[in-house]
Structure 1
Amino acid sequence: MPDTAPEGQYLCHVDEIAERQARGFGPFGTSKRKIVVVRKDGRYFGWLDSCPHYSTGTPMAWKTDAYLNGERTHLTCHSHGALFEIETGDCVLGPCLGQTLTRVNIRISDEGGIFVATSLTEEKK
């Protein structure tokens, strides 16, 4: 049974995302986009599943939870091959250089639950 603190929408337990794995959840909020949670070096990062290259915010995965490149070193937009740093969301390769993914504020409870704010506060880096 998921724990209830901190406030927000429960996504999963930390053990459900392996090291250098990304998972999508949702859709959430008014944007109706998924949230991507990535685990790297024991830390968790939350991003909106929306490539900044397109004004419509194209989803990045080509199939369920396929958000990382083959080496599992970067988030990637499979629509046009852009690569993004997992920790910062900065585009490092592709047509959206200089742009950044939209960070989603996630929290981890004392019991290991990963939560996103119910209102899905999306913040640009």
Structure 2
Amino acid sequence: MAHHYLCKGSDLAEGCARGFDPRGEGADTIFVVRKDGRLHAYRDACPHYGDTPMAWRKDAYLDGAATRIVCSAHGAQFAIDTGICTLGPCLGQALTPVPLAIAAPDDIYAVMEET
């Protein structure tokens, strides 16, 4: 497993989400959400249809109240803490979680298989 640097923890505010391209593929492939002080990371792909990106624009992963992750292509809504679809065409399916590692002093890394 490889650790890919994402950002400083202080760069991700409470109630916000941010996309990352940890392998330099040219598009965000994972995103991280900070909710209630905890970080949650997922692949940037809706389970409803293949690898459909979730955001309709850069870092736009959450609903207006920042209480759910929303797929812009299908309108599916996902719980931030579990990634499980709670409303929409992929009800009961889940986003693919991405493990994170936090290193001193405040660095966030995605822990991913090497390709």
Q: TM-score, normalised by structure 1?
A: 0.83
Deviations 1:39-75 (A, max 9, x none): 0011101100000000x22001000000001110011
Residue equivalent to 2:59 = 65
Residue equivalent to 2:13 = 18
Pairwise CA distance, 1:33: 5.7
CA contact (8 A) 2:79 2:85 kept: yes
Structure 1 vs Structure 2: percent identity of aligned residues?
50
Cα RMSD (Å)? 2.1
- SS of alignment partner, residue 74 of structure 2: coil
Residue equivalent to 1:82 = 76
One-letter amino acid of the structure 1 residue matched with residue 45 of structure 2: S
Q: TM-score, normalised by structure 2?
A: 0.90
- SS of alignment partner, residue 47 of structure 1: strand
1:44 and 1:20 map into 2 onto residues whose CA distance is: 10
CA contact (8 A) 1:28 1:35 kept: no
Aligned positions, number: 113
Greater fraction strand: 1
Q: Which runs of 5+ in 2 are unaligned?
A: none
- SS of alignment partner, residue 116 of structure 1: strand
Residue equivalent to 2:85 = 91
1:76 and 1:10 map into 2 onto residues whose CA distance is: 25
Pairwise CA distance, 1:25: 0.2
CA contact (8 A) 1:9 1:116 kept: yes
One-letter amino acid of the structure 1 residue matched with residue 66 of structure 2: R
Pairwise CA distance, 1:96: 0.3
Residue equivalent to 1:40 = 35
1:82 and 1:101 map into 2 onto residues whose CA distance is: 11
- Picking from 47, 53, 71, the partner of 1:52 is 47
Moved over 3 A (4+): 27-30
